[in-house]
Amino acid sequence: MSLTNRILLAMLAGVVLGSLLNVLLQGSLAPEGLRELLNDYLVAKNGLFDVVGRIFVSLLKLLVVPLVLVSLICGASSLGDSARMGPIALKTMALYLATTAIAVSIALFFASLVNPGAHVELMSAANFHPPAPPPLADVLVDMVPSNPVRAMAEGKMLQIIVFALLVGYAIAHSGEQGRRIGSFFRDMEAVVMKMVEILMELAPYGVFALLAKLFATMGLGAIVNLAAYFFTVLGVLVFHALVVYGLLFRGFTGFSPAMLFRKMRPVWAFAFSTASSGATLPITLNTVERRMGVHNSVAGFSIPLGATINMDGTAIMQGVATVFIAQVYGVELTMAALMTVVVTATLASIGTAAVPGVGLITLSLVLQQAGLPVEGIALIIGVDRLLDMVRTAVNVTGDVAVSVIVANSERQFDESVYLSSESLQADDLEQDRAPTI
């Protein structure tokens, strides 16, 4: 069975087993002793699922900094002349911002049609205190690292991008020495990519453990009360990923998006089970470079940048949530307020960290700007984790689609790799690793 299928099967098994455990643990079907045993040894903190899941996420995260650094250094140095960097950066940024603004607008439109908050009672327990957002000047200054080692130790993605671009540019302009160090980084990239592929073989186990734990502990009852909100967000997320991106992709590249979505399946599985674009980054980058044929001069820049600032799925949740909360509190949203929501949700998605649940925190910025009570966030916390998993998958879809579109327009794209239908085979890895005597 191909690795992709094994990952998808493990996802399904995790969801089914987790949901069964949930029923068993919540209800009185099993004797108390058995429930305690299952909970302690499998589900609870330090249980089997928790330990395997945490190890898996750490393994993913450990690759993020080395991979982004070497991939971007290779990409920037191979571009050689800096004149090419400008258009790549501009197109990438423009597409990231435009698609996010489209995403919020669609979310506002559908939410205004569905009226998800129309019949929801305001709970008096609503209670949420958001942290204060940092001033914009700090955000800009914070992009430039004063100490690259600290930037890497703290995993500050934008700082690492700035540093790597600078190193890559300098390598391209350092003559013979530059060529030597450049070839070192290319070798490093091959080695780190190989680490990603080795790790992917563990994915079925990791994905299974993460999902089994999550579904065993998740209170799905909350969905019933918030069904209209939940399914509006879900519907817009799926629509945006498949229809909006599908059309944009075909329009810009002329290729069918079917292959894109097919090759995205393992990336979706990682995004869904970790709910973190950041932890999924190594898989996204590997897929885009190795299986979709995007040259690392584009992928090394657009994928880490996208994981950090391009969050269409998050913006969609924030759009629907704003309409929902306005309706629950009986506040009319004017056209001006809706425009404000489009702008602030686009900016908030830039400021959302690529880890689970942060979209809900930056939602407070959007609500504040729209003049809505921030405590309203407490109303939707109950169903947020599941939506977080789906919106993270949408977030990475945007990164990948934009990366291929930009690479194609800049001729940094190998069409034959994109069109080759070879699936992700565990056997390939086995062969690669076999000793060559």
The reply on whether position 100 binds ligand ASP by CB under 6 A is: no
| Contacts (Cβ under 8 Å, ≥6 apart) of 311 | 100, 277, 349, 350, 352, 354, 359, 391, 395, 398
If the CB atoms of residues 21 and 311 are measured against ligand ASP, the closer one turns out to be: 311
Least CB distance to ligand ASP at residue 372 (A) = 19
Residue choice 78, 273, 352, 397 for contact with ligand ASP (CB under 6 A): 352
- Count the residues of the shown chain that bind ligand ASP, applying the rule CB under 6 A: 16
| Contacts (Cβ under 8 Å, ≥6 apart) of 175 | none
Which bin fits 275, alpha (ψ -120 to 50), beta or left (φ > 0)?
Answer: left
User: What is the spatial distance between Cα 288 and Cα 359, in angstroms, rounded to a whole number?
Assistant: 25
The values of phi and psi at residue 413, to 5°, are -140, 130
Residue 107, classed as helix, strand or coil, is helix
Q: Which residues between 192 and 231 bind ligand ASP (CB under 6 A)?
A: none
Residue choice 22, 99, 100, 277 for contact with ligand ASP (CB under 6 A): 277
DSSP category for residue 53: H
The site string for ligand ASP over 381-420 (x = CB under 6 A, - otherwise) reads -------x--xx--x-------------------------
The residue type at 334:
T
User: What is the spatial distance between Cα 10 and Cα 209, in angstroms, rounded to a whole number?
Assistant: 9
Least CB distance to ligand ASP at residue 316 (A) = 10
Least CB distance to ligand ASP at residue 247 (A) = 23
Cα end-to-end distance, the chain, whole Å: 28
If the CB atoms of residues 25 and 211 are measured against ligand ASP, the closer one turns out to be: 211
Q: Is there a contact between 104 and 345 (Cβ–Cβ < 8 Å)?
A: yes
If the CB atoms of residues 18 and 359 are measured against ligand ASP, the closer one turns out to be: 359
Least CB distance to ligand ASP at residue 352 (A) = 5
**Which residues does residue 294 pair with via DSSP β-bridges, in sequence order?**
413
Residue 40, classed as helix, strand or coil, is helix
Least CB distance to ligand ASP at residue 361 (A) = 8
If the CB atoms of residues 99 and 314 are measured against ligand ASP, the closer one turns out to be: 314
If the CB atoms of residues 48 and 355 are measured against ligand ASP, the closer one turns out to be: 355
**If we measure between CA atoms, which residue out of 297, 364, 313 comes closest to residue 131?**
364
**If we measure between CA atoms, which residue out of 172, 142, 151, 171 comes closest to residue 68?**
151
The reply on whether position 344 binds ligand ASP by CB under 6 A is: no
Part in contact with ligand ASP (CB under 6 A); list of ranges 17-25, 153-161, 236-244, 272-280: 272-280
The residue written with tokens 């391209």 in the block is 172
The reply on whether position 354 binds ligand ASP by CB under 6 A is: yes
If the CB atoms of residues 79 and 157 are measured against ligand ASP, the closer one turns out to be: 157
If the CB atoms of residues 314 and 322 are measured against ligand ASP, the closer one turns out to be: 314
Least CB distance to ligand ASP at residue 321 (A) = 11
The reply on whether position 275 binds ligand ASP by CB under 6 A is: yes
DSSP category for residue 244: I
DSSP category for residue 38: H
Residues binding ligand ASP (CB under 6 A)? 275-277, 311, 314, 352, 354-359, 388, 391-392, 395
